[in-house]
Amino acid sequence: MSETSKKSHIIGILPSRWGSTRFPGKPLHLIAGKPLIQHVWERCQQAEKLDEIIVATDDQRIADAVTAFGGRPVMTSESHPSGTDRLAEAVSHCPEATHILNIQGDEPLIDPTLIDELAQALLDDPSLEMVTAANPILPNDPAGADPNVVKVVTKINGHALYFSRSPLPFFRNQVPGLSVLRHKGIYGYRRDFLETFVTWPPSPLEEAESLEQLRALENGANIRVLHTDDTSPGVDTPEQAVMVERIISSQ
């Protein structure tokens, strides 16, 4: 854990819900002998910039498991429309937090260095409202056309222009050095911006694409996109859990 200045307190929050249409009970699915959520929590423990880590959950079974492996759970409502709304409720239990990192609870191989990079970006720029990350998708990779893979395009200054499940951009002409970017579902927020974000109703593009980060863009916010080489897979299905277990067991 870091020794941050008196002016900042960075908290990592792992939203973790039981109900998943494709994988019910996913957070407690055992991978290499440990619940999925424990793997994510342990990776976060390796980050140097986090002053605190909590798991925000709507299920007592997850909360009990988190307590058992030494983590701190915070119970949240079952009715939140998005993970960001769940995050904001959890932050209300942490009055000292100045910056928040939203680390997906199904990313057991997340790079701790990436967590630190997002935290540092928030500390370096007090005006920065929100930050996230993306990595290049290789040409001809089917992920570029997969609607389950979110793509992002950025402005010249590195801020997000748009996120989409569609192929983005469409290459009518080949442009040297321009890559398709896969969005990684990790976010950093300044606390006051997060509290403002959840007062906005779900926006039209957010509802069309089912991407809550579009709510921020539609309301005029800036999201900086950090480029990363972290291509670690998440776990959305039991089949992906098997693949991740093979990776963990080989390390």
- Per-residue pLDDT tens for 70-79? 999 999 988 8
**Residue 3 forms part of a structural domain:** no
The predicted structure's pLDDT at residue 6? 56
Average of pLDDT values for 10-20?
A: 90
Show the beta-strand stretches assigned E in 104-179: 130-137, 151-154, 160-164
pLDDT digits over 111-122, tens only? 999 999 999 999
Q: What CATH number has the domain bearing residue 212?
A: 3.90.550.10
140-143 contacts at long range (C-beta below 8 A, 24 or more positions apart): 143/182
Is pLDDT at 160 greater than 70 in this prediction? yes
Comparing 22-26, 44-48, 127-131, 218-222, the range with the smallest average pLDDT is: 22-26
The answer as to whether 54 is a domain residue is yes
Rounded CA separation 201/215 (Å):
8
Range of the domain at 83: 10-250
Q: Of 18-22, 109-113, 205-209, which range is least confident?
A: 18-22
Please say if the pLDDT value at position 1 is more than 70: no
Is residue 3 packed enough to be buried (19+ CB in 10 Å), middle (13-18) or exposed (0-12)?
exposed
* Residue 159 resides in a domain: yes
Residue 1 lies in a domain: no
Residue 5 has pLDDT above 70, yes or no: no
* Residue 177: inside a domain: yes
pLDDT in tens, 43-58: 999 999 999 999 999 9
Say if 5 falls within a structural domain: no
**Domain count for the chain:** 1
Instruction: Please list the residues that pair with 137 across neighbouring strands.
Output: 180
Residue 195 falls inside a structural domain? yes
Indicate whether 238 belongs to any domain. Answer: yes
